[in-house]
Structure 1
Amino acid sequence: MDWKIELIFVPVADVDRAKDFYVKIGFTADHDQTPVEGLRFVQMTPPGSACSIAFGTGLGIALEPGQQNTIQVVVPDADEALAHLRGVGVEASGVDDQDWGRFVTFDDPDGNTWTLQELPDYGG
């Protein structure tokens, strides 16, 4: 039996600002629905990912905006990812080289921290 993570909620204060930010860095806006007054659901997917993020209003997310700091995304090239983020005006840390990978971190407009990891070449 497969278990697949398909959706992670990200707490944001301003839904439109968050949507604009994630589109700017290359996420696809999959859904933006307001099925009833007071409930807005936005789903976005990073390029090449099988897992999406969601945010909105009235969703009952327990975290306050800026508290999400546990999302790690694998990228093929940390240097390219860093150049892309900086090229669209996002402040991002320089590449941090570790034995277990190469890492870039950045924050969204609410202060939610994302970590990008280029996996090491294990020679497999």
Structure 2
Amino acid sequence: MVKVFVDALMSEADARFGAEQGEVGDDRVNHHARGRSPRLGNRSARSGIPQCPSARASPAAGVGHETPTATVTEDEMSTPPTQQDGATDAVAEPIPEFKLEVVVLPVTDVDRALSFYQGLGWRLDADYEAGARFRIVQMTPPGSPCSIHIGRGITPAAPGSARNTYLVVSDLDRARADLIGRGVDVSEIFHHAYDTGSQERVPGAASERRSYASFATFSDPDGNSWLLQEVRVRQPGR
């Protein structure tokens, strides 16, 4: 039944085209009499019917020569398109970036803490004060994308309660010498006895000076402590 509908539609379109051109010929009528679909060629585009690629006339075809036409069965027309293997309905959204920007250090005396960190060579980014109850100071260590905040009214934490905030350096001996030269009390270099299943501190750098394994510590005037960690070669992706 579908094929009869298609033949009728194509016949009507062909007749309309011939009427417009004044040249509906016996040859086209004979095609239908023999049960074959008429040749559409480029006429289908003029009559508003989408042209099937397999029904286009070849460059070598002459006038009056038949061009093979595509046959669409009822089963093919009633079969819905299938999804290609591996295709997904939705593309996963990338995870948003979450960048650690600031670490808040609780201090007692803002000016004293500011002077200490400036003495380490840290950059002063901002110092904003709004009355006697609020002051915020931002400072950034050399080469660090993350900053610190000190001030008044910015944290309920007890002064000096920040412990072992990491500062990563590529040369622990040089970093330690620089801090000592600035008057900072820095511990000796040590590593942990992880190989024996213990976190006990062992004097000296780790064997073969492995990255992530050698440390030293120092503290600010309020007791907030810093942990220097030597990283000579970073792990992939870090």
- The answer to whether TM tops 0.5 is yes
Paired residues for 1:67-78 under 5 Å: 67-78=161-172
1:35, distance to aligned residue in structure 2 (A):
3.1
Match of 2:157 among 63, 72, 92: 63
Structure with greater helix percent: 2
- Of stretches 31-40 and 109-118 in structure 1, the one that deviates more from structure 2 is 31-40
Unpaired stretches in structure 1, ≥5 consecutive residues: none
Q: How far apart, CA to CA, are the structure 2 residues paired with 1:33 and 1:52?
A: 15
The equivalent residue for 2:127 is: 32
Partner deviation per Cα, 1:83-102 (whole Å, 9 max, x = no partner): 01100100000111235422
The equivalent residue for 2:16 is: none
Quick check: 1:27–1:46 contact (8 Å CA) kept in 2?
yes
- Of stretches 67-76 and 113-122 in structure 1, the one that deviates more from structure 2 is 113-122
Q: How far apart, CA to CA, are the structure 2 residues paired with 1:37 and 1:108?
A: 24
The equivalent residue for 1:46 is: 141
- Of stretches 89-98 and 13-22 in structure 1, the one that deviates more from structure 2 is 89-98
Q: How far apart, CA to CA, are the structure 2 residues paired with 1:75 and 1:30?
A: 22
The equivalent residue for 1:10 is: 105
Instruction: Give the AA of the match of 2:176.
Output: L
- Of stretches 32-41 and 17-26 in structure 1, the one that deviates more from structure 2 is 32-41
Provide the identity percentage. 43
Partner deviation per Cα, 1:55-78 (whole Å, 9 max, x = no partner): 10111x132111100410111111
1:122, distance to aligned residue in structure 2 (A):
6.8
Q: How far apart, CA to CA, are the structure 2 residues paired with 1:122 and 1:5?
A: 19
**More relative contact order in 1 or in 2 (CA 8 Å, sep 6+)?**
1
Quick check: 1:7–1:54 contact (8 Å CA) kept in 2?
yes
Which has the higher Rg, Structure 1 or Structure 2? 2
Instruction: Give the AA of the match of 2:179.
Output: L
Normalising by structure 2, we get a TM-score of: 0.49
Paired residues for 1:108-123 under 5 Å: 108-119=220-231, 121=233
* Partner SS for 2:111: helix
Partner deviation per Cα, 1:93-124 (whole Å, 9 max, x = no partner): 01112354221100100011000111254797
**Distance change (3 Å), C-alpha of 1:92 and 1:34:** same
The equivalent residue for 1:80 is: 174
1:47, distance to aligned residue in structure 2 (A):
0.4
Q: How far apart, CA to CA, are the structure 2 residues paired with 1:43 and 1:29?
A: 6
Q: How far apart, CA to CA, are the structure 2 residues paired with 1:107 and 1:36?
A: 29
- Of stretches 110-119 and 99-108 in structure 1, the one that deviates more from structure 2 is 99-108
